[in-house]
Amino acid sequence: MFSNEISRRAFLKYCGGIAATLGLSTTMVPKIAEALTSDGRPPVVWLHFAECTGCSEAFLRATDPGVADILFDVLNVTYHETIQAACGEKAEHNRDQTVANHAGEFICIVEGAIPTADNGVYGMIGGRTMLDIAQTIIPQARYTIALGTCAAYGGLPAAAPNPTGAMGVKDAIGVDTINITGCPPHPMNLVSCITSYLLNNQMPPLRTDGRPTFCHGSTIHSSCTVPHACMQGYNCKGPNTYNNCHTALYNQESWCVQAEHQCIGCSEPGFWDSNAPFYNPMWMSMFSTYRPTAVPHEDQKTASCTRCHGSGIFEEEESYQEDPRRFQQAMHHEHNVRLSTNQGCANCHPEAPGGTTTGGSYHDD
């Protein structure tokens, strides 16, 4: 189905990437290569539940070498319903046989949340509920890796009002899980986690929430490499998001904030609900501390600033309605305060602290 020829150069480069992700010296590359090609690799059973398959899609789109090769030559994946050739009863038989023959030895990777409402009837595979499949297979694994935020915490399937009762694997089944989170998670984090197990016969150190410290040990904000300025003022969730996408990069190219999009905290518990709204218009980020109830003025005629900053107070203060210039002055003052404290201002105004130029004033009028 896939080519299983990985060049030595590409394979060693990949092993070097694993070493870097785990924070290991390059002297460990030969040992990593040996571990990934040994005959003692445990089989991997990869289950799919309530999800969009985006975690697998991100994994399969990785390069240098192609992860389709890594799946079979390195991870020893024996069951993955999205890409395997077998289907139906034959595929399920192969899965169940692997579980029976390697109980207590195999690694179970779970992608997606598990619907639990009404005994799990809202998620069915082959006439069985996802809940039943999970309860049968997962407890027999040596380790269970919850891949992606849906599997770890429920993610989008568990978003309010959550009529299916979707939950993360640990909450639904009651077993400890290694949580590699993100929407989607970085493919290298999964391979690195399993590689650490092959090297040390145990999983890497974990946080109290079950996430590996090598990839979820620090926040995006703590070592953000955004080339322009901090986007925290635009609802960036980086200060509270523990992930390594800013150092691992997707396909060694880029990540969300480098592409000039704020971090939406996709690796954190409560994503989606607790992180909404993902997009915070500039006027709200500038104006909310001045008047939290601010809303855009319906006719946008009070001042040139209104397009960006809204005019909630214009509707409330009669003095502003009598003299729109007072409103304009108030907004200019607020804008200047924001510029001086760099609350995301440098993204539009290069003269702000952290911007690409210095000196001058944006407010010439």
Domain residue ranges of the chain, discontinuous segments joined by +: 8-216, 282-347
The residue that leads in pLDDT, 188 or 33, is 188
Decide: residue 298, CB within 10 A, 0-12 exposed, 13-18 middle, 19+ buried: exposed
State how far the Cα of 313 lies from the Cα of 263, in Å rounded to an integer.
Answer: 30
Name the least confident of 3-17, 109-123, 145-159, 288-302. Answer: 288-302
Alpha helices in the chain (DSSP H): 8-22, 29-36, 54-60, 67-73, 88-101, 130-137, 149-153, 169-173, 187-200, 213-216, 245-248, 282-287, 306-309, 312-316, 318-322, 324-341
The whole-number average pLDDT for the span 359-364 is 40
The whole-number average pLDDT for the span 132-153 is 97
pLDDT at site 60: 79
CA 63 to chain CA mean position, Å: 19
Residue type, 310: G
pLDDT at site 179: 97
Q: Is the peptide bond preceding residue 269 cis, with omega within 30 degrees of 0?
A: no
Residue type, 100: A
Phi then psi for residue 19, to 5 deg, are -60, -45
Give catalytic residues, as residue numbers.
52, 55, 150, 183, 221, 224, 230, 236, 245, 256, 263, 266
The whole-number average pLDDT for the span 188-209 is 86
Phi then psi for residue 205, to 5 deg, are -55, 140
| 3 state SS of 179 | strand
According to DSSP, residue 219 is labeled B
Q: For the chain, what is the largest distance between any 2 Cα atoms, rounded to a whole number of angstroms?
A: 82
Handedness of CA 237, 54, 212, 68 (dihedral sign): negative
pLDDT at site 308: 43
Mean residue pLDDT across the chain:
76
Class of CATH domain 8-216: alpha beta
pLDDT at site 352: 53
On the question of pLDDT at 360 being above 50, the answer is: no
The whole-number average pLDDT for the span 118-143 is 97
When pLDDT is cut at 50, 70 and 90, the band that residue 325 belongs to is: low
